[in-house]
Amino acid sequence: MDRSNRNTALASALVEELGRCGVRHAVICPGSRSTPLALALLREEAIATTTVVDERSGGFFALGAANSTGVPVAVVCTSGTAAANLHPAVCEADEASVPLLVLTSDRPPELRAVGAGQTIDQVKLFGSAVRWFCEVGTHDADDSGLLHMRSTACRAFAIAAGDPRPGPVHLNLSWRDPLGPEPRDGDVTATSQLALGGRAELPLTDVYKPAAALREDEVTALAADLADTERGVIVAGRQTDPALGAALAALACATGYPILCEPTSQARLGSHERDAVVWAYDAIARAQPGSLTPDLVLRFGDMPTSKALRQWLATLDESAQLVVDPHCAWNEPTRRAGLVLRAEPVGMARSLAAAIAQPAGDGSWLAAWRAAGSAAAEALRAGTEKDELSEPAIHAALGRRYADGDLVYTASSMPIRDQEGFLASAPTEVRFLANRGANGIDGLVSSAAGAAAATGRPIWLLVGDLCLHHDSNGLATLRDVRSPVRIVCLNNDGGGIFEFLPQAGQVTREEFEAIFGTPLGLDLTKLAALHGIEHHQIASVGDLSRLPSDRHLLVEARIDRQANVDAHRALFESAAQAIRGALGERA
């Protein structure tokens, strides 16, 4: 503990406890009012710090680090609108259940609402988007004050980590002068060793959180239902546990169900058994073949991104739908689920698989799904293996480029949809991350940089040009990141996803470009040069295989928006014909 003065003692007590609880990464956004916290974090050996000048970028950098590790990451800022700039990252952390510790510094009460500079109302600044808000208060460095800081840190960590649902926590900390480590004799009056030093290497207060699990009789009853139902499907959406893929494979083997898994479920790619994985389900859902209508849907993770699948599931009024939701998120937009299971997903899937003696039926159900999936996959492959640049072809080709150990961070809008629709299943050990809580396109460069810094793993970042523009400041964070971050920008000079909406045919082209297309005419060569990053403009899909892999890159693929719409429509029409042919169904 730094006993130079009251502030240094209080801040270092708080930071000591964060380190003992398990915080290993923190982002410092510079400012004067946050000096006590920033210095305490910088000097804490257990916590690695990164300085990010732009608070919005800093918030997303911390979010990406927390998203990739599953451990709370702290972000510190000074008072005033600096704190407000963290709000987008807080909203994403809330919706996506990412553990984030937001430590805002503030003026003391006597300097609020009297015209003091750099002062706004920071009390409950983020509203209901945080799991817990605490106005930490102004305290003396006595036994009570130091224990309050230590206890507050432990509570904040536990709630952010998941008590019960992971997410952001906001601590608002007021500091009076002196803000720096100016020695003040007599400032630290604590005498209790617990207040002064805590519990040595252990947190002052730890929280034991056993994994949620079904009772044995509940597992038996649910397993019996699955064993009696032949026409079921396993749906897997965004979640971060890499062990889920193998657990779902065991459950699919026991039930005879296909697995419809988007890449961010961590089940589409990996060394686990993938015989039951039907990765081209988006094309199948668009066709909605009657012979593949399930009687039971068992979902793990978030609802997948595919609009076609969502709409199909929302029509299944007569089908049993079960949702595994261990974090009390109530993530059920179809409103069709008859049962929500508060259980740890991997353990539950394994328990169910072990409890099922044999699947119902003769295997024809899974065989039909495999046939449709194989036919659709072959049609999509045939349409994307050409060397011509298209967004679907780039995602398919990147799947062949990914290497074991890579992280893939994917932007919302078209990149996440095309990744879901065109990335083939493969044995490569890759982790997929995305900011799909609030589904925004802001902060992605910073998020990927944070994930690379926290994990030390090489990253591919897939973005559109508007997404890159939203967080071009995030490119500055790459100078402190050692792991290579390869940014692939699908540059269609505007909002390509809007070309797929009905509005594209309902307004004039001039109106469409003004409010939807919004072309920016970005020169990515200059943007890359500004930040000292290599720029590569690819002219063909084959160019992706020739890119260097050991450094930061900004890879640009220029795509015509209308041609992109035409390519998608042709691919899905070809897949629909292949599906109907495989199932013997008429158009």
How far is residue 321 CA from its own chain's centroid? Answer: 25
DSSP-assigned letter for residue 46: T
Q: Is the pLDDT of residue 107 over 70?
A: yes
Query: Structure tokens of 504?
Result: 């594209």
What is the mean pLDDT of the segment spanning 265-276?
A: 98
Q: Is the pLDDT of residue 283 over 90?
A: yes
Q: Is the pLDDT of residue 354 over 80?
A: yes
DSSP-assigned letter for residue 171: E
Interatomic CA distance for residues 430 and 105, integer angstroms: 38
Interatomic CA distance for residues 581 and 587, integer angstroms: 9
Least trusted range by pLDDT, from 28-32, 181-185, 502-506, 536-540: 502-506
pLDDT category of residue 388 using cuts at 50, 70 and 90: confident
pLDDT category of residue 332 using cuts at 50, 70 and 90: confident
Indicate whether 347 and 466 sit together in one domain: no
- Show which of 377, 403, 427 is a domain's final residue: 377
Interatomic CA distance for residues 249 and 297, integer angstroms: 16
Indicate whether 438 and 291 sit together in one domain: no
Q: pLDDT, tens digit, for every residue of 335-353?
A: 899 999 999 999 999 999 9
Identify whether the C-beta of residue 172 lies closer than 8 Å to the C-beta of residue 122.
yes
How far is residue 90 CA from its own chain's centroid? Answer: 13
Q: Is the pLDDT of residue 329 over 90?
A: no
CA distances to 135, 146, 274, 430, 528 from 138, in Å: 9, 11, 56, 46, 45
Indicate whether 17 and 157 sit together in one domain: yes
pLDDT of residue 10: 98
Indicate whether 430 and 541 sit together in one domain: yes
pLDDT category of residue 546 using cuts at 50, 70 and 90: very high
Count of domains observed in the chain: 3
Q: For residue 385, tell me if it sits in a domain.
A: no
Indicate whether 350 and 452 sit together in one domain: no
DSSP-assigned letter for residue 92: H
What is the mean pLDDT of the segment spanning 230-244?
A: 97
Single-letter amino acid, residue 357? A
The reply to whether the predicted model has a pTM over 0.75 is yes
Look up the domain containing 280 and give its range: 216-377
pLDDT of residue 211: 87
Query: Structure tokens of 535?
Result: 């720029």
pLDDT of residue 15: 98
Q: Is the pLDDT of residue 314 over 80?
A: yes
For every residue of 314-378, DSSP letters joined together read: TT-TTSEEEEE-TT-----TTS--SEEE-S-HHHHHHHHHHH-SS-SSSSHHHHHHHHHHHHHHH
Q: pLDDT, tens digit, for every residue of 147-177?
A: 999 999 999 999 999 999 999 999 999 999 9
Indicate whether 479 and 435 sit together in one domain: yes
Interatomic CA distance for residues 490 and 294, integer angstroms: 36
Query: Structure tokens of 63?
Result: 């979010």
- Show which of 162, 197, 232 is a domain's final residue: 197
Residue 71 sits in a domain of what CATH number? Answer: 3.40.50.970
Name the residue among 252, 269, 227 with its Cα closest to residue 349: 252
Q: Is the pLDDT of residue 514 over 90?
A: yes
- The sign of the torsion formed by the CA atoms of 216, 220, 221, 223 equals positive
- DSSP, collapsed to helix, strand or coil, labels residue 50 as strand
Interatomic CA distance for residues 160 and 401, integer angstroms: 36
Identify whether the C-beta of residue 264 lies closer than 8 Å to the C-beta of residue 439.
no
* Torsion angles phi and psi, residue 297, rounded to 5: -125, 125
Interatomic CA distance for residues 262 and 71, integer angstroms: 24
* Torsion angles phi and psi, residue 410, rounded to 5: -120, 135
pLDDT of residue 207: 95
What is the mean pLDDT of the segment spanning 231-248?
A: 97
User: What is the C-alpha radius of gyration for the chain, rounded to an integer number of angstroms?
Assistant: 26
Q: pLDDT, tens digit, for every residue of 111-158?
A: 999 999 999 999 999 999 999 999 999 999 999 999 999 999 999 999
What is the mean pLDDT of the segment spanning 70-98?
A: 98
Indicate whether 25 and 174 sit together in one domain: yes
pLDDT of residue 333: 87
Residue 288 sits in a domain of what CATH number? Answer: 3.40.50.1220
Indicate whether 257 and 373 sit together in one domain: yes
Q: For residue 384, tell me if it sits in a domain.
A: no
For every residue of 200-221, DSSP letters joined together read: TTB-SS----PPP---HHHHHH
Share of the chain above pLDDT 70, in %: 100
For every residue of 402-460, DSSP letters joined together read: --TT-EEEE-TTHHHHHHHHH---BS---EEEE--SS---TTHHHHHHHHHHHH---EE
Indicate whether 157 and 220 sit together in one domain: no
Interatomic CA distance for residues 79 and 116, integer angstroms: 11
Interatomic CA distance for residues 510 and 305, integer angstroms: 30
Indicate whether 159 and 237 sit together in one domain: no
Name residue, tokens 């300085």.
51
Indicate whether 32 and 70 sit together in one domain: yes
pLDDT category of residue 587 using cuts at 50, 70 and 90: low
